[in-house]
Copies of this chain bind each other. A is one copy, B any other.
Amino acid sequence: MSAPESATAEAATISRFPVPRLADLPADIRERIERVQEKSGFVPNVFLVLAHRPEEFRAFFAYHDALMDKKGNLTKAEREMIVVATSNLNQCQYCVIAHGAILRIRAKDPLIADQVAINYRKADITARQKAMLDFAVKVSQSAHLVGDADIETLKGHGFDEEDVWDIAAIASFFGLSNRMANVTSMRPNPEFYAMGRG
């Protein structure tokens, strides 16, 4: 347990807001953080930064898991593509760097994350994936314009109604995440930058 403690030791630099000590957190939140730490070898700062508000923390990660861990036609790598493409347009450092790492790992491709982040139209992805990202970016930037034609385009690429919801919900949820990361000045852990690049 010493590692997260030392992580919080420098916590003043990972958020504009107070960062709680692991030991002071409710048990369920502390346990979730410890599980992540065991699996990843470090505690991603988003857990520590959002733990400042335990109830919001629980809702945030329940939402996250409902969208990112659920079954469905979208692969895990595709879900991360949505996060990475929309988060760069929202200029969210934490999300692009952390989820870029996850995307590289999920896709087993060291190049994909930077390509998708900067301009997915030029990325080495399928036409279906480009259509998915066209829609995700439209939801993220101008959801008020979404209409039947957008859904039809997705269906023409083999997506079904549930996939449409998934894409929209992931783009919407990370729009929330991007805004909170920018307002809190959430700092990405150094570990993320090189993960999955090997």
Contact = CB atoms under 8 A, between A and B. Distances in A.
A115 B139 contact: no
A67 interface: yes
Chain copies in the assembled complex: 6
Contacts of A9: none
B118 A183 contact: no
Interface residues of A, number: 65
Interface in A104-150: 110-111, 114-115, 117-119, 121-123, 139-140, 143-147
B146 A114 contact: no
Q: How would you classify the secondary structure of chain A's contact residues: helix, strand, loop or mixed?
A: helix
Contacts of A17: 161, 165
Contacts of A70: 55
Contacts of A52: 165
Given A97-B114, A183-B139, A66 B62 contact: no
Contacts of A35: none
A45 interface: no
Contacts of A55: 62, 65-66, 70
Interface of A: 16-18, 52-53, 55-56, 58-60, 62-63, 65-67, 70, 88, 90-93, 96-97, 100, 110-111, 114-115, 117-119, 121-123, 139-140, 143-147, 151, 161, 164-165, 168-169, 171-173, 175-176, 178-180, 182-185, 187, 190, 193-194, 197-198
Given A59-B62, A121-B147, A139-B183, 16 more contacts: A59-B59, A92-B118, A96-B114, A110-B194, A111-B190, A121-B145, A122-B182, A122-B185, A143-B179, A146-B183, A165-B183, A165-B184, A169-B180, A172-B179, A175-B179, A194-B198
